[in-house]
Amino acid sequence: MKTKTDKLKQAVKSTFLAGSLAVSSLAFAGGNDQYTTDEKLRDAWLDGKIETALLINRHLNSFKIDTEVKNNVAYLSGTVDTEVDRALAAEIAQGIEGVTSVDNDIIVKQSPVSTTDKMHMTHEHEPEKTRTFGQWYDDATTTASIKSELLFNENTTGTDVNVDTAYGVVTINGVVKSEQERSLIIEIAENTPGVKKVENEIEVDSNS
C-alpha cells in the first residue's frame, strides 16, 4: 500500500518529467520568447523541488510554508514554531542546485527563552561537493532536530553550544555549567534519529 508520502513523491516525479520534456521541446524554438519561457519553466522546476523537499522533511512537514522562485531566487513565507525551523527551511531551499539566493520571510510564532541569544544557529549552508544533496539534507534535518530538542528541554534551554552534523556524525561544542548538563545534551543528540555518532567537544565551566 502506498503511503501519502509515496504518492506525493510519485506525483512530483511525474511533474518533473513533464517539465523536462517541455523544456526539451522548447529548446528548438529559438529567439527571445524561448528564453523567457525557459526561465519560467526553470523557476517552476526549482519551486517544485523546494516544495517537495519541505513537504517530506520530518521537521517541517507540519507547517504551511509557501514558496516561489523568480530568476533563481527562492522566496519563502509562512509561519513556523521556532527560529530553528525558519533557518532549516532556508537552508533546504538554498541547498537546491540552481537556487542562487533565498529571501526568507517566514515568521516565527513562538520563541523559547534565549533561542537567538544562546543557541548558535550553525547553518549547514549549501551541500559541499563531497556530500550528496540527500546526505546534506539529512544532516541539516538532524542538526535542526537536536537544536529544537535542546531549546524545548527545560534543563538545556539557553545552553551556549554549537551543533553541526556531517555524514550522520554530530559535533557539539561550547560551554555549559555542569557535567550533568553536558551529559544530557549528549544523550539528547545520541537519541535523535539519523545520528550515527556524537563528537563531544563541550567544556564545563560552573562560572559561565
User: What predicted TM-score, i.e. pTM, was given to this entire model?
Assistant: 0.68
Q: Which letter does DSSP use for residue 154 in this model?
A: T
Q: pLDDT grade, residue 94 (50/70/90)?
A: very high
- 160-194 residue pLDDT tens: 899 999 999 999 999 999 999 999 999 999 999 99
**Residue 46's pLDDT is what?**
96
Q: Of 5-9, 103-107, 177-181, where does mean pLDDT reach its minimum?
A: 5-9
pLDDT at site 110:
66
**Please, what is the angle between helix 133-152 and helix 83-95, to 10°?**
170
Query: What confidence score (pLDDT) does residue 36 get?
Result: 74
pLDDT in tens, 44-64: 999 999 999 999 998 898 899
pLDDT digits (tens, 9 = 90+) for 120-149: 444 455 555 578 889 999 999 999 999 999
The pLDDT confidence band at residue 33, using thresholds 50, 70 and 90, is: low
The pLDDT value given to residue 118: 45
CA angle centred on 42, ends 73 and 29, rounded to 5°: 140
Structural domains present in the chain: 1-110 (3.30.1340.30), 112-208 (no CATH)
pLDDT band at 24 (very low <50, low <70, confident <90, very high): very low
CB of 64 within 8 A of CB of 54?
A: no
Contact 194, 142 (CB under 8 A): yes
Of the pLDDT bands very low, low, confident and very high (cuts 50, 70, 90), residue 100 is very high
Cβ-based burial of 67 (10 A; exposed 0-12, middle 13-18, buried ≥19): buried
Look at residue 19 and tell me whether its pLDDT is greater than 70.
Answer: no
